[in-house]
Amino acid sequence: MESSIYSKEEVIKSKDEGLFSTLTSTFQYESIWVIDNGASRHITGHHKQLKTLSKGNSSYSIELGDNKSYLVRGIGSTSLELENGGNIHLNNILFVPILHKNLLCISNLEDKGDIMDFIDGRVVVWSKKSSIENARMIGIREGRLYRLITPLTQALVNIQISPC
């Protein structure tokens, strides 16, 4: 029998916090992107976060931590300015209006050729073709979550919406 280092109450509290953080508005700004190792795709509930968006009726849906399925209403892309002056480009972002968060999928970044590490409350990323000496910080820990370090009042321009 496998034992856990966490009590049942700690596991339940942890699951509740994770569900709460994804499905509700725990952050005050819709421009915050949560770095999520549980997400299978980049996802946003805010179309204003996308520079391009192909909207349409889709039968594609995602399942969230509440075990419910939600329809994807479009797919988009964006380029986010980081506080340190760099940029991060995200493609194939699922638009799910019911979602109150923006989720940055770690495995999508790895698929693009990046390596990520979490060190002392910071998230660093570097290319698989280089070394950690070339890493740049893209995120910080806030409470039990990590967020992308973007300016909170980031302006997105040239929003293009096209039908699927």
Which regions in the chain score pLDDT beneath 70? 1-29, 152-164
Strands 160-163 and 52-55: parallel
Q: Where in the chain are the domains?
A: 30-163
Question: What is the CA 145 to chain-centroid distance, rounded?
Answer: 11
What's residue 123's pLDDT?
Answer: 95
Max CA distance (Å), the chain: 56
Task: Give the H or E element holding residue 146.
Answer: strand 145-148
CATH domain 30-163 topology: Cathepsin D, subunit A; domain 1 (2.40.70)
Taking alpha carbons only, the member of 42, 43, 35, 29 closest to residue 137 is: 35
Kindly report the average pLDDT of the chain as a whole number: 79
What pLDDT is recorded for position 113? 94
In the chain, the percentage of residues whose pLDDT exceeds 90 is: 50
pLDDT tens track for 130-163: 999 999 999 999 888 999 998 764 434 344 455 5
CB atoms within 10 A of CB 65: 14
The residue assigned the tokens 């970044």 is: 109
* Dist. CA 31–CA 81, nearest whole Å: 11
